[in-house]
């Protein structure tokens, strides 16, 4: 490490500016944009931070490289929204050896030794999936063919939403015709849905998209195929970003489970405590809710994102 920063930079006494490196996944979705904005607002100068922001273009190797550069800069703390759950042990060990605490926000990691990160502020992705699955079970009592647009392969939300959906829809007459990743992007959702429609055509009754953005991309493919989203193919998604909520209010989506991106304030609070050597909760789960079309119409005017 560089001389003089072995202790991980300044940030000692009260009122010092804390230099924090934030390794964001990228800018793949509306959810991500809202999360980035929330983090930048919370880690502002007036809140006592010097934020070094990096968006990794949804590639883990770029995200790990960003974390390494934060270590070399001797920041006071590192925040990561880990793109995938695996592959973090080495770089987190390097941060620990450099005496730099790491806080996870949004997604989480699978590591052998969870002392490698101080705290995780995120969402209950499995519960989100379960809520979507329970809606599907309640809605589909006749034999139903479903296709799934999965999130980024190996990411906590993709893994856990799939698990949760299976639990929530247990026993429903729903057959999964196909399930592929659209990498949480609109373009990915559109392209994969085009493939599904070519293969299965109008035998598809239900689309479960792991986020609104892939569902929004799928809308283009569904209408281009001469089908009506929301009726020929019912759609359930997760996030509840503005464009998704509009599609829900317009009847193109049928149900959305929220995934709250506004985590910045809580993460900043945890980072300050960790740097000050105070004990913090290992996990903080932020509340989510769900929306029908009627509820979306009600909620839209006041939505922050
Ligand atoms: C979930 C978050 C996911 C969103 C997607 O907390 O990690 O990543 O659901 C985003 O929209 O791409």
Q: What is the pLDDT of residues 252-266, one digit of tens each?
A: 999 999 999 999 999
Contacts of 116 (CB under 8 A, 6+ apart): 88, 89, 92, 93, 95, 96, 102
pLDDT confidence of residue 94 = 98
Determine which residue's CA is closest to atom 6 belonging to ligand 1: 106
Atom number in ligand 1 closest to CA 123: 6
Q: Strand order in 77-80's β-sheet?
A: 49-55, 18-24, 77-80, 102-106, 119-122, 283-285
Give the CATH superfamily of 125-259+293-302.
Response regulator (3.40.50.2300)
Going by C-alpha positions, the residue among 289, 229, 218, 271 that lies closest to residue 254 is 229
Per DSSP (E only), the strands in 66-195 are 77-80, 102-106, 119-122, 144-150, 174-181
Per-residue tokens: 122? 């995120």
pLDDT above 60 for 4: no
3-state secondary structure at position 47: coil
Going by C-alpha positions, the residue among 78, 43, 23, 6 that lies closest to residue 275 is 78
Fold match flag (18-123+260-287 vs 125-259+293-302): yes
Task: Give the rounded distance of the alpha carbon of 42 from its chain centre.
Answer: 18
Mean pLDDT of 276-302: 97
Atom number in ligand 1 closest to CA 81: 7
Atom number in ligand 1 closest to CA 210: 9
Q: 187-221 burial string, b = 16+ CB within 10 Å, else e?
A: ebbbbbbbebbeeeeeebbbbbbbbbbbbbbbbbb
Going by C-alpha positions, the residue among 13, 19, 1, 3 that lies closest to residue 101 is 19
Atom number in ligand 1 closest to CA 155: 7
- DSSP letter, residue 240: -
Give residue ranges with CB within 6 A of ligand 1: 28-29, 31-32, 106-107, 123, 157, 184, 211, 213, 238-239, 259
Per-residue tokens: 272? 């300050």
Residue 14 C-alpha to ligand 1 middle, in angstroms? Answer: 35
Geometric angle at alpha carbon 26, from 63 and 114, rounded to 5°? 45
Q: Alpha-carbon torsion 262, 263, 266, 267, what sign?
A: negative
pLDDT confidence of residue 15 = 67
CB 159 within 8 A of CB 179: no
Domain ranges (residues) in the chain: 18-123+260-287, 125-259+293-302
The model's confidence at residue 230, banded by pLDDT at 50, 70 and 90, is: very high
Mean pLDDT of 91-116: 97
ipTM for the predicted complex = 0.97
Residue 32 C-alpha to ligand 1 middle, in angstroms? Answer: 6
pLDDT above 90 for 41: yes
Most distant pair of Cα atoms in the chain: their distance: 68
Hey, which of 79, 157, 183, 290 would you mutate to test ligand 1's pocket, going by the most ligand atoms within 8 Å of its Cβ?
Answer: 157
Residue 12 C-alpha to ligand 1 middle, in angstroms? Answer: 34
Atom number in ligand 1 closest to CA 107: 7
Residue 267 C-alpha to ligand 1 middle, in angstroms? Answer: 17
Residue 135 C-alpha to ligand 1 middle, in angstroms? Answer: 20
Q: Which residue has the tokens 């009726």?
A: 231
Per-residue tokens: 303? 């939505």
Full-model pTM = 0.94
CB neighbours (10 Å) of residue 252? 22
For the domain made up of 18-123+260-287, give the CATH fold.
Rossmann fold (3.40.50)
Per DSSP (E only), the strands in the chain are 18-24, 49-55, 77-80, 102-106, 119-122, 144-150, 174-181, 206-209, 234-239, 255-258, 283-285, 290-291
Residue 78 C-alpha to ligand 1 middle, in angstroms? Answer: 20
pLDDT confidence of residue 1 = 33
CB 15 within 8 A of CB 170: no
Across the chain, what does the average pLDDT equal?
95
Residue 277 C-alpha to ligand 1 middle, in angstroms? Answer: 30
Determine which residue's CA is closest to atom 3 belonging to ligand 1: 157
Residue 23 C-alpha to ligand 1 middle, in angstroms? Answer: 15
3-state secondary structure at position 169: coil
Hey, which of 184, 256, 285 would you mutate to test ligand 1's pocket, going by the most ligand atoms within 8 Å of its Cβ?
Answer: 184
Residue 137 C-alpha to ligand 1 middle, in angstroms? Answer: 24
CB 211 within 8 A of CB 238: yes
């Amino acid at each position: 490490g560089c001389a003089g920063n072995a202790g991980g930079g300044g940030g000692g006494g009260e009122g010092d500016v804390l230099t924090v490196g934030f390794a964001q996944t990228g800018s793949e979705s509306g959810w991500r944009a809202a999360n980035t904005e929330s983090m930048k607002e919370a880690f502002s100068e007036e809140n006592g931070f010097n934020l070094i922001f990096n968006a990794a273009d949804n590639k883990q190797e770029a995200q790990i490289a960003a974390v390494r550069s934060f270590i070399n800069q001797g920041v006071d703390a590192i925040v990561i929204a880990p793109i995938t759950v695996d592959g973090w042990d080495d770089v987190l060990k390097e941060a620990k050896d450099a005496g730099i605490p790491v806080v996870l926000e949004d997604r989480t990691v699978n590591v052998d030794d969870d002392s490698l990160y101080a705290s995780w502020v995120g969402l209950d992705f499995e519960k989100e999936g379960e809520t979507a699955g329970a809606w599907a079970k309640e809605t589909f009592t006749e034999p139903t063919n479903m296709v799934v647009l999965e999130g980024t392969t190996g990411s906590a939300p993709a893994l856990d939403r799939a698990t949760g959906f299976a639990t929530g829809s247990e026993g429903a007459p729903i057959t999964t015709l196909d399930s592929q990743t659209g990498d949480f992007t609109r373009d990915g959702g559109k392209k994969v849905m085009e493939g599904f429609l070519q293969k299965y055509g109008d035998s598809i009754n239900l689309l479960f998209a792991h986020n609104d953005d892939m569902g929004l991309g799928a809308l283009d493919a569904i209408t281009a195929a001469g089908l009506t989203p929301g009726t020929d193919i019912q759609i359930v998604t997760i996030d509840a970003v503005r464009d998704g909520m509009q599609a829900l209010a317009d009847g193109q989506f049928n149900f959305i489970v929220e995934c709250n991106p506004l985590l910045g304030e809580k993460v900043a609070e945890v980072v300050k405590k960790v740097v000050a050597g105070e004990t913090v909760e290992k996990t903080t789960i932020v509340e989510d809710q769900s929306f029908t079309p009627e509820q979306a119409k009600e909620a839209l005017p006041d939505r922050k994102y």
